[in-house]
């Protein structure tokens, strides 16, 4: 369903060398994973024997126990459609190999073999195991294994090696690498991914040392990001031998560079880690990445050595997405520490971009200040850019232009903010100019329509542009990503500037950007007014205030909640998801906030405006890109202004 598949990392109890006990525990964990409807279930490296058997690997008794254990595991998969990946030693042509048996519905689909055998520091695996590169054959028959089952089967060939991709009925392609393979300069998973594997399963027995957990985690995250892949990592638990080492049972699933689940205990064993993969993210990014496709071409010789095993007679169950993480605010980190760090980095990028433009042009920044959040953030960026260039705050040209809809609160806040930043506010009242313009058009002044509203927006832009010409300035735009997506801006009005700093920042993030400035005390004199601005309702203030002088025109009442629109923006533009999939995720994320009817209503609004307002984005000014989504026609979104919305609306209407 929606390319969701559930995986399980199983870390069972283990007694080193006791294959009977270990198999009992593996079967217990399998039963638990079945209860969670996991599709792919992975156990640690050498889980059947325990990793630390050392010279016991040479004992025939242990290897006989391995065969009995594998027989019991295969027996347990009758009428099961899940994929099981379990680590066990394999004796082949008088060589021992460290392998992963991939099992599904009473069959061994393949035996993936470890390539890089560590023999340094605390590791001396080469004493027992040979590399996959020394294999003398690429397949073996089931009968050669000597595994006895409780039922009769016809003999069949099993692929064996370090070049196997498993394709389960065209639903998902995955490959297995083992522990040290990940740590190699060029990991097998690199070639697997370029050859089509979307999920890499790494079964491991990685001992714990100081700081190794974070390093291991960074490796997994990086590999999943570089390969545009899912990466399931499962490692041996604390029941392994502690003769010289300690094992921690570290398991995690990384998706395209982000960890979506990880075991919490530092030293752990006897647990199950469940996560839902969203292969839609992987497939989208591989589709749009020319680098990925170029790399596949460059390494075509290595890819040609891969064997893709297609399993057509069993249908891998998909997931209902219960464990899919769908944050209500996908652009915003979940913790305060991460959020402030992210906002600081973005602020520095905005400042850096504007500072460079100001230094090249020798201009003064000209900002129209309304007392709202967007213009506030732009003003803060401009002030900091001047500070970065070593220029005086008086070079900041901040113009506030009250008109028909300006409230006392926003007007006073704009003046106070400008002064707090060390600049002198320039007040240009545009009411008379707008009235004259409307009279020239023969427009009824009582008609509070789009002409009435846009006259003010365009007059403000004209003032800013002409004043910039007068003093050698550069008009810095205030519009944000959400407004661009919805086209919630006046064409050749606030849609236009000479440089934009907020264009790839969604509305939900703008608030936290200002909050981080307050938290970091960057402009201490402005702290109080910034706090009040954050509490002010979002409004274009183009309609007169109410009888009590309060803001009467609230944007979210007109176009819908920005948190919903930012959610739609993220999943439609970052990952190209269908309306149906976005609707599913939105229902999951906002189940306590909006009804299905409300979500559908605002989704309809989003798609209609996304398509109809592209002409405004086609001629948007230069501006710095700071995040994963941008609408610049020179960057992330190249879209015809007259594209048909029919297919998207047909799907939305069917929800």
Q: Residue 551: what pLDDT?
A: 64
The whole-number pLDDT of residue 552 equals 62
Q: Active site residue: 10, 52, 179, 343, which one?
A: 179
Q: Is 45 a catalytic residue?
A: yes
Six-digit token string for 579: 């309306």
Contact 494, 620 (CB under 8 A): no
Question: Catalytic site residue 180?
Answer: no
Per annotation, catalytic residue among 45, 180, 198, 255: 45
Distance between CA atoms of 594 and 585, rounded to whole angstroms?
Answer: 13
Helices (H) and strands (E) in the chain, counts: 22, 21
Q: Beta partners for 364?
A: 473
Out of 29, 114, 507, 600, the active site residue is 114
Do residues 315 and 172 make contact, with C-beta atoms less than 8 angstroms apart? Answer: no
**Angle of helix 507-519 relative to helix 527-534, nearest 10 degrees?**
160
267 CB-near residues (< 8 Å, 6+ apart):
208, 238, 246, 248, 249
- Do strands 271-278 and 4-11 pair parallel, antiparallel, or not at all (unpaired)? antiparallel
**Residues present in the chain in total:** 655
Eight-class DSSP state of 622: P
At residue 367, the pLDDT reads: 98
* Phi and psi, residue 228, nearest 5°: 45, 60
pLDDT tens digits, residue range 18-27?
999 999 999 9
Whether the Cβ atoms of residue 542 and residue 490 lie closer than 8 Å to each other: no
What is the Cα–Cα distance from 617 to 639, expressed in whole angstroms? 9
With b for 16 or more beta-carbon neighbours within 10 A and e for fewer, the 112-148 pattern comes to bbbbbbbeeeeeebeebbbbbeebeeeebebeebebe
Q: Could you give the 3-state DSSP secondary structure of residue 295?
A: helix
pLDDT for the residue numbered 366: 98
Q: Which of 292, 302, 318 is nearest to 228 (CA)?
A: 292
**Packing angle between helix 562-569 and helix 507-519, nearest 10 degrees?**
110
Report residues of the chain scoring pLDDT below 70: 540-542, 547, 549, 551-553
Q: Examine the residue annotation and report whether 82 is marked as an active-site residue of this protein.
A: no
pTM of the model: 0.91
What does the pLDDT read at residue 316?
86
């Amino acid at each position: 369903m929606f390319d969701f598949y559930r995986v399980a990392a199983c870390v069972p109890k283990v007694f080193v060398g006791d294959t009977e006990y270990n198999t009992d525990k593996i079967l217990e964990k399998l039963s638990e994973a079945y209860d969670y409807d996991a599709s792919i279930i992975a156990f640690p490296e050498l889980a059947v024997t325990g990793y630390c058997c050392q010279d016991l690997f040479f004992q025939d008794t242990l290897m006989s126990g391995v065969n009995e254990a594998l027989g019991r595991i295969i027996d347990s998969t009758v009428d099961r459609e899940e994929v099981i990946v379990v680590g066990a030693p394999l004796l082949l042509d008088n060589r021992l190999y460290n392998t992963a048996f991939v099992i599904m519905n009473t069959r061994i689909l393949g035996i993936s073999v470890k390539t890089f055998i560590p023999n340094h520091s605390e590791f001396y695996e080469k004493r027992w195991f040979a590399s996959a590169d020394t294999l003398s054959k690429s397949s073996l028959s089931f009968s050669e294994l000597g595994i006895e089952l409780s039922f009769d089967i016809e003999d069949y060939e099993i692929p064996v090696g370090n070049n196997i991709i498993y394709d389960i009925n065209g639903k998902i392609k995955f490959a297995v690498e083992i522990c040290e393979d990940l740590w190699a300069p060029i990991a097998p998973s690199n070639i697997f991914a370029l050859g089509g594997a979307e999920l890499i399963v790494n079964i491991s027995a990685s001992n714990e040392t100081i700081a190794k957990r974070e390093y291991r985690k960074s490796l997994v995250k990086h590999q999943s990001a570089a390969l545009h892949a899912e990466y399931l990592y499962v490692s041996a638990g604390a029941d392994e031998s502690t003769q010289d080492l300690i094992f921690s049972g570290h398991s995690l699933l990384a998706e395209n560079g982000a960890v979506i689940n990880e075991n919490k205990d530092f030293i752990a064993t006897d647990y199950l880690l469940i996560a839902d993969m969203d292969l839609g993210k992987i497939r989208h990014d591989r589709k749009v990445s020319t680098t990925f496709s170029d790399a596949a071409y460059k390494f075509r010789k290595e890819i040609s050595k891969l064997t893709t095993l297609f399993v057509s007679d069993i249908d891998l169950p998909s997931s209902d997405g219960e464990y899919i993480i769908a944050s209500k605010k996908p652009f915003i980190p979940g913790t305060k520490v991460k959020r402030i760090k992210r906002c600081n980095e973005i602020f520095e990028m905005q400042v850096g971009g504007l500072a460079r433009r100001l230094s090249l042009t020798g201009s003064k920044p000209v900002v129209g200040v309304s007392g709202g959040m967007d213009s506030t953030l732009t003003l803060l960026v401009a002030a900091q850019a001047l500070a970065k260039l070593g220029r005086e705050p008086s070079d900041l040209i901040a113009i506030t232009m009250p008109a028909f809809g300006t409230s006392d609160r926003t007007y006073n806040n704009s003046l106070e903010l400008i002064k707090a930043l060390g600049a002198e506010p320039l007040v240009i009242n545009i009411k008379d100019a707008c009235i004259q313009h409307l009279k020239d058009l023969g427009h009824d002044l009582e008609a509070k329509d789009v002409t009435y509203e846009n006259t003010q927006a365009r007059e403000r832009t004209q003032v800013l542009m002409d004043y910039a010409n007068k003093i050698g300035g550069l008009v810095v735009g205030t519009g944000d990503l959400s407004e661009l997506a919805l086209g919630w801006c006046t064409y050749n009005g606030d849609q236009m500037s000479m440089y934009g700093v907020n264009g790839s920042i969604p509305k939900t993030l703008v608030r936290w950007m200002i909050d981080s400035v307050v938290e970091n005390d960057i402009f201490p004199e402005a702290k109080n007014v910034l706090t009040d601005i954050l509490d002010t309702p979002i409004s274009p203030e183009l309609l007169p205030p109410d009888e009590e002088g309060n803001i009467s025109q609230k944007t979210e009442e007109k176009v819908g909640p920005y948190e919903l629109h930012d959610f739609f923006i993220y999943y439609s533009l970052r990952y190209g998801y269908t309306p149906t999939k976005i609707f599913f995720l939105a229902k999951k994320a906002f189940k306590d906030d909006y009804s299905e009817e409300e979500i559908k209503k605002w989704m309809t609004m989003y798609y209609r405006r996304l398509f109809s307002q592209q002409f405004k984005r086609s001629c948007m000014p230069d501006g710095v890109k700071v995040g994963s989504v941008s609408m610049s026609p020179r960057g992330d979104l190249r879209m015809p202004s007259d594209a048909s919305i029919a297919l998207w609306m047909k799907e939305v209407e069917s929800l």
